[in-house]
Structure 1
């Protein structure tokens, strides 16, 4: 414990307190010897980084619990392969910086449940660079992350329905099983229809 505390730049008493609060996992024991490893050190550095960003110890404990319950990368990404999306690896502190003040245990649990986030060791992986950048930009405009995630769940449902419509229509009338031809056509249709829908709705909201 003393060696871990020295490496983390804190006191052994603080390490003991964090362990008692469940902020770090228990050490591996061999007889009377307690062994800590690089994962404990990474967690201590994460705690320090989140404290600097204004998170409370109670909030960090809740985040840690949500983080520890998350699906690993192989499980999460295995559901959507193959994909055109580029995953992004983040530390918990970097994720907090993307969504300043909005990374709560509830929001983290929702994002994990939706499959936007996955866990690999001490890192968090966001499944899509495009979705990460877009959602963080919306949050910076003043929309709460909880609202963004709720909207994302609806978008996911509609996107799944559209994908099912495109694939069934394409297969039923062409007998084609290779979806490589369908993907760019479907994306063009959805992008054009969404663009026209925004044209219809945005002026109406401005005039209201």
Structure 2
């Protein structure tokens, strides 16, 4: 414990306090010797970084619990995860920096539940760089992260319906195509083009309606 405290730049008393609060896991014991490893050191450095960013120990404990109850990223990607999206590895500190002041236990739980985030040891993995950057931009513009996540949940529901519509069309008119990933990958850009064009026109219509209403 003394060696761990020295490496982390804190006191033994602080390490003991963090352990009692459940902020770091118990050490591996061999007889009367307690062994701490790089995982414990990384956790202590994360705690220090989050404290600097304004998080309380109670809040950090809640975040830690949410992380530990989150799904492993391998499980997420194995459940039909994104084939075109680029996952992004983040430390808890980097995640906090992306969404300054918005990384609460509630928002974290919502992101984990949506499958946006997974865990890989001490790292967090966001399954889509595009979704991460879009979400962070909206938060920086002033949209609460909770609202962004709720919008993401609703978009997910509509996207699932659109995907099923597209696959059903292929099943009906191009039998056998929807069963092969290679064929789907060739036709995927067409589906995306239709959705993007329709969304663009829908935004134009809504904005036009609002202008006339004003």
TM-score, normalisation: structure 2: 0.94
Please give the residue correspondences for 1:82-161 in structure 2 after superposition, counting only pairs within 5 Å: 83-161=83-161
Structure 2 contact 85–128 (Cα < 8 Å) conserved: yes
**SS of the counterpart of 2:124?**
strand
Structure 2 contact 82–127 (Cα < 8 Å) conserved: no
CA RMSD in angstroms comes to 1.1
CA deviation after TM superposition for structure 1 residue 98, in Å: 0.2
Residue 202 (structure 1) aligns with: 207
Per-residue deviation, residues 83-102 of structure 1 (Å, max 9, x unmatched): 10000000000000000000
CA deviation after TM superposition for structure 1 residue 28, in Å: 1.0
CA deviation after TM superposition for structure 1 residue 82, in Å: 5.7
Q: 1:158 to 1:168 in 2, by over 3 A?
A: same
**SS of the counterpart of 1:102?**
coil
Structure 2 contact 19–26 (Cα < 8 Å) conserved: yes
CA distance in 2, matches of 1:204, 1:54: 43
Residue 60 (structure 1) aligns with: 60
User: What are the ranges of 5 or more consecutive residues in structure 2 without an aligned counterpart?
Assistant: none
Per-residue deviation, residues 19-61 of structure 1 (Å, max 9, x unmatched): 0011111111111111111000000000000000000000000
**Count of aligned positions:** 208
Residue 168 (structure 1) aligns with: 168
User: What are the ranges of 5 or more consecutive residues in structure 1 without an aligned counterpart?
Assistant: none
